[in-house]
Structures are given as C-alpha cells and as structure tokens.
Amino acid sequence: MIKISTQFDAGSVVVKDLTNPANIRLELRPDNASDFAQWFYFRLQGAAYQNCVMHFENAADSAYPEGWEGYQACASYDRQNWFRVPTEYENGVLTINHTPLSNSVYYAYFEPYSHEQHLNLLGDAQGSGLCRIDDLGCTVQGRDINLLTIGNQVESDMKIWIIARQHPGETMAEWFIEGLLGRLLDPQDPTARILLDRATFYIVPNMNPDGSVLGNLRTNAAGANLNREWETPTLEKSPEVFLVREKMLETGVDLFLDIHGDEALPFVFVAGTEGVPNYNPRIAALETQFKAALLSASPDFQDEYGYEKDAPGQANMTLATNWVGNHFDCLAYTLEMPFKDNANLPDDDFGWNGQRSLRLGEAMLSAVLNVVDDLR
C-alpha cells in the first residue's frame, strides 16, 4: 500500500487519490496565508519498482504556470543526493513519471534547504572565529532573525549587505549563501582576505524562516510577500523586513545583493535599479563593471536574458533592491537563479541544484572584489 506524507520541515502537497500508482492525483498546496502555490515537497512510500505517475491537477492555477514548461522535478532517496526525474506539463496538469528503486523516496520542487541546515550554517560560520551572529528580533511565529557580521566594522570599511530567501521556496538562495560564506570565511583564500581587509559583510542567510518551515513558496506566516514590503514594512505583518531595514539604516550600505530564484527563466541573471529616482551614471558604470566581473568569474552567469528593465522613474519601490539602491545611492542587484536548468550549461541529471548555487556563491566574491574599491 502506497502512502504520501508531508509532516516534516517544508513538506507540502494535497493528496486527492492514491488508489492507483499509475494515476496518483495531487494538488499544489497554497502558502499558509496567501494564494501563492508552486512549492511541493513530499515523501512517497511503498512504491518500489512500480511506475508512479503523479498528476498535479491544479498546476495551471499556480503562481507561475510558465515555470512548468521545460521543468523537471527533483527526487531523492536520502534527502542528500537529489536528481531530476521525467516531468511534463500539458493541458494545465503537471505530471511526474518515475519508477522509484526504493520503498521510500522524496519529491520536491527544488532541492530543499531545511531549518536545521540553516541553523548549522550559522553555527559553522560562528565557529570560523571570523563571524559574529546577531539576533535582530523575531519573525511572526517567533523564529530568530539572525544577521552574520564578518569584518573589522571600521568606518572606512565598505558595507556590503547580502540577503537571501525573502521568498522561502527559493532554496537555491540559501545554498548560494553557503558557498559564499564558505569562501569568505576561508583564511587561506586570498580573495576573502583582501575583501575582509576592505569591507565588512552583513549577511542574512534566510530572511523568511517561517515561510521556509511552513513550505511556502513566496510569503511569510502572515501572508506578506517580503519583497513587496520594503517601502513601509511593519512589525505586525513583515517584521523580517522591518528589523533588517532598521539595521541597514544604522550601518549604511555600499553594495547590496538580494538572492532569489526564478520559476520561468532557465538562466542566471541580475536585475538592477535603473528605474529608481536616484539612478545615475556612477551607478550605471558600477553595474557594467560588476556584470563584466561576474561573467568572468562564472560561466553560469549571463547578461542576455533577464527581466525587462524599468523605465526611468518607474521602478517598484517596494522591492528590496530598488528601495536599498535608491535610499543609499549604492550599487544594488537582485540575483536570480533558475528552478529549471541553466540553458547555457545544461545538466540532464541534476539541472540547476544546490551545489551549482553554492559554486555561484563562491564565484560572486570575485565580482565583489572587482568593484569593492570603487563603491564610494
């Protein structure tokens, strides 16, 4: 007898009918306090060597239906090693077709990054002796909002802020931070040593711990899309943004990176601040310099495909990158990684995954080093 369960960190799916392995009927479960639905993560048991055909019948009503085109679901037997499995999107239904080789198998929208991993990441960073953990306050459900401070914190230091996972389903963002931290805290890495001589890093590895544990795609426990809260955050609805923004106002910002994942586009790309009121030739030149450096640092990055650029003065100022870039007159970028694969460098077995995100995080420091002396 087959069984599907979700009672674990970030577990999420609605089971409609399990009677026939060749026609398992499922639905995407929306975020706990909003209508966004796209994230799934569940365990299938009792189906070893049976061809399982799993239909998500409400895929057309998901937050980003275009995200299913060319998408392959992730699967794992041990939650350590994830691989892609045959997936199709047709007539509004997403179908996973897989024959598990063991009695217990997990399926997910993307390689998960659990709250335990998050806490371990903080502990490992602190254990380096180069990093201080600060508690900024609590989420809606009472989880810790932690800031990692790395550097000398002297006035002359460049203030580099990096935040990730405002949208909790975008787990690749925290994988990216793991890679970036691993290199930044390596005392043998020359890039890290030079950077920490010239800059202090303020890093929030997970802006949305509640949404991450709840298995939400896009919102916190109160139903707020944190990346639409930066103009007027509140302690009631979006304490995560409110508290991080207060700390930014205290420290100042010379470079801001907001790390995300994009459902539809099969590329790694950035989005800048060309639509904000304070955009100017200095920032434009820094953007060009930064992108050229990142292109050189990682072949996974490209600058041909991405979001349509905002017209001058037309930026949505509720977005983190726009608000921070405009308020601090600094270089600010949103980095997007794919849920699908990187079409420029495809990998049929794994697609884009945690390790590739981690490697991009490592490479990012080379681009930061390229611009660090020009940020002011």
Expressed in angstroms, the distance from the first to the final Cα of the chain is 64
- For residue 336, indicate whether it is catalytic: yes
Closest CA to 206 of 230, 183, 240, 182: 240
- DSSP H helical ranges for the chain: 115-127, 172-184, 190-198, 209-214, 239-251, 281-297, 320-328, 354-371
Of 178, 229, 263, 336, the active-site residue reads: 336
Tell me if 260 sits within 8 A of 207, measured CB to CB.
no
Closest CA to 82 of 356, 363, 361: 356
Tell me if 348 sits within 8 A of 86, measured CB to CB.
no
C-alpha angle 11/214/134, rounded to 5°? 125
Sign of CA dihedral 205, 258, 143, 36: negative
For residue 96, give both structure tokens.
Answer: 């996973």
> Would strands 255-262 and 158-164 be described as parallel, antiparallel, or unpaired?
parallel
For residue 241, give both structure tokens.
Answer: 């943004």
Tell me if 322 sits within 8 A of 276, measured CB to CB.
yes
> Would strands 158-164 and 144-150 be described as parallel, antiparallel, or unpaired?
unpaired
Please name the helix (run of DSSP H) or strand (run of DSSP E) that holds residue 151, with its range, or none: none
Backbone angles phi, psi at 127, to 5 degrees: -65, -15
Closest CA to 290 of 346, 222, 367: 367
For residue 348, give both structure tokens.
Answer: 């049929």
Tell me if 181 sits within 8 A of 203, measured CB to CB.
yes
Catalytic residues, which ones? 336
